[in-house]
């Protein structure tokens, strides 16, 4: 019985590029995507940086790879990793980023203070943005970083990653996460194992949970009605972390799910298995 299935699998493995075997995630060398770069055998994994930020590496039986998150602001063209060999010689590793046009979205927010915050809000926003950035660039060593996620909430994708946004006709930062619509109170489950780094209640993001999965891979859950985890808590894949809500800047109840890799916000969809229908 096993042999019947084994041969087609073997053929598939031989035909696939190497990174497919090592990394069950989508290779997307675009702004907001993830690029997987084979490393020479003598590369020192701890030395690899992109834009000064340490980069995830993974090892198969035969090869090692850098797994690099590309921020939405990365320009198309040739980019370089900073790297050194185990004997401390410089390595020059280049890769190409291709362009991707994200759609534009216009949103009307009734609470004008959430679009053009008042002076007294700015101090809070600036303070919170430091906390949020610190959580998203968190690094912890982990040999077995989960690169395949389960969908954290059942529901339709209401707003994709990367949308160029206008709030009340004013341009704002592009959408750095993926929105899943669900009724208030719907449980949110951790998409993979990790450790809660921080939780908080923020001006724009509302009640928020950050989970560290290791090697610069951090996920963020926003607008929760209730947080059910504490900083430092270890989380298994599928474990409930809180409930969907509409705290912060929202037009309705949904989960805003962010994924950060080497401090670059990347498309969470790249970590999910392909679904049967294109959008939902
Ligand atoms: Zn969102």
Query: In angstroms, what is the span from residue 123 Cα to ligand 1's centroid?
Result: 23
- Residue 115: pLDDT over 80: no
Per the structure, the complete domain to which residue 128 belongs is given by: 104-271
On whether both 54 and 149 belong to a single domain, the answer is no
Report residues near ion ligand 1: CB below 5 Å: 177, 179, 256
Query: In angstroms, what is the span from residue 78 Cα to ligand 1's centroid?
Result: 30
Provide the number of structural domains found in the chain.
2
Query: In angstroms, what is the span from residue 72 Cα to ligand 1's centroid?
Result: 15
Query: In angstroms, what is the span from residue 210 Cα to ligand 1's centroid?
Result: 15
Domain of residue 162, CATH code: 2.70.70.10
Q: Which residues pair with 106 in a beta bridge?
A: 166
pTM over 0.95: no
Q: Which residues pair with 259 in a beta bridge?
A: 219, 266
276: confidence class by pLDDT, cuts 50, 70, 90: low
Across all residues in the chain, what is the average pLDDT?
Answer: 88
On whether both 116 and 249 belong to a single domain, the answer is yes
What average pLDDT does this structure show over 91-111? 89
- Residue 198: pLDDT over 80: yes
On whether both 114 and 92 belong to a single domain, the answer is no
How far, in Å, are 150, 186, 269 from residue 279 at the CA level?
A: 16, 21, 11
Query: In angstroms, what is the span from residue 130 Cα to ligand 1's centroid?
Result: 19
Please indicate, yes or no, if residue 172 is contained in any of the structural domains: yes
CA distance 207 to 242: 9
Please indicate, yes or no, if residue 153 is contained in any of the structural domains: yes
Those residues whose C-beta lies under 8 Å from the C-beta of residue 142, and which sit 6 or more positions away, are 213, 214, 215
- Between CA 156 and CA 165, with CA 160 as vertex, the angle to 5 degrees is 130
Query: In angstroms, what is the span from residue 180 Cα to ligand 1's centroid?
Result: 8
On whether both 223 and 244 belong to a single domain, the answer is yes
Query: In angstroms, what is the span from residue 252 Cα to ligand 1's centroid?
Result: 11
139 and 215 Cβ atoms separated by less than 8 Å = yes
Give the pLDDT confidence score for residue 63 in this predicted structure: 87
Least-confidence region, from 16-25, 110-119, 175-184, 234-243: 16-25
């Amino acid at each position: 019985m096993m042999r019947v299935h084994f041969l087609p699998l073997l053929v598939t493995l031989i035909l696939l590029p190497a990174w497919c075997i090592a990394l069950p995630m989508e290779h997307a060398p675009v702004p907001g995507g993830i690029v997987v770069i084979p490393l020479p055998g003598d590369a020192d994994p701890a030395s690899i940086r992109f834009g000064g930020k340490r980069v995830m590496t993974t090892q198969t039986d035969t090869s090692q790879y850098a797994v690099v998150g590309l921020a939405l602001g990365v320009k198309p063209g040739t980019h370089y990793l900073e790297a050194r060999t185990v004997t401390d010689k410089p390595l020059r590793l280049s890769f190409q980023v291709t362009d991707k046009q994200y759609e534009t979205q216009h949103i009307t927010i009734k609470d004008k203070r959430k679009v053009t915050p008042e002076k007294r809000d700015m101090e809070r926003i600036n303070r919170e943005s430091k906390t949020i950035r610190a959580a998203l660039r968190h690094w912890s060593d982990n040999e077995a970083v989960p690169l395949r996620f389960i969908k954290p909430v059942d529901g339709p994708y209401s707003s994709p990653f990367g949308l160029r946004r206008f709030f009340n006709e004013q341009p704002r930062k592009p959408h750095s996460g993926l929105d899943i619509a669900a009724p208030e109170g719907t449980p949110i489950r951790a998409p993979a194992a990790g450790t809660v780094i921080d939780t908080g209640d923020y001006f724009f993001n509302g009640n928020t949970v950050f989970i560290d999965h290791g090697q610069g891979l951090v996920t963020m859950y926003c607008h929760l009605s209730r947080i059910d985890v504490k900083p430092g808590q270890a989380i298994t894949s599928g474990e409930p972390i809180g409930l969907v809500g509409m705290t912060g800047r929202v037009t309705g109840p949904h989960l805003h799910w962010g994924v950060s890799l080497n401090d670059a916000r990347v498309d969470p969809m790249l970590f999910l298995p392909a679904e049967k229908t294109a959008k939902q």
